[in-house]
Amino acid sequence: MTQLFYHPDLDNSTIQFSFDKEESRHLVRVLRKKEGDEVHITNGKGDLFTAKIIEIGSKMC
- For position 1, what pLDDT does the model report? 65
Which position has the higher pLDDT, 59 or 56?
A: 56
- For position 58, what pLDDT does the model report? 78
Instruction: Break the chain into its structural domains and give their ranges.
Output: 4-52
Tens-digit pLDDT profile for residues 25-56: 999 999 999 999 999 999 999 999 999 999 99
- Rounded to a whole number of angstroms, the CA Rg of the chain reads 11
Q: What does the buried/exposed string (b/e) look like for 14-44 if buried means 16 or more CB atoms within 10 Å of the residue's CB?
A: eeeeebeeeebebbbeeeebeeeeebebebe
Nearest to 60 by CA among 19, 14, 5: 19
Q: Give the whole-angstrom CA distance, residue 58 versus residue 10.
A: 22
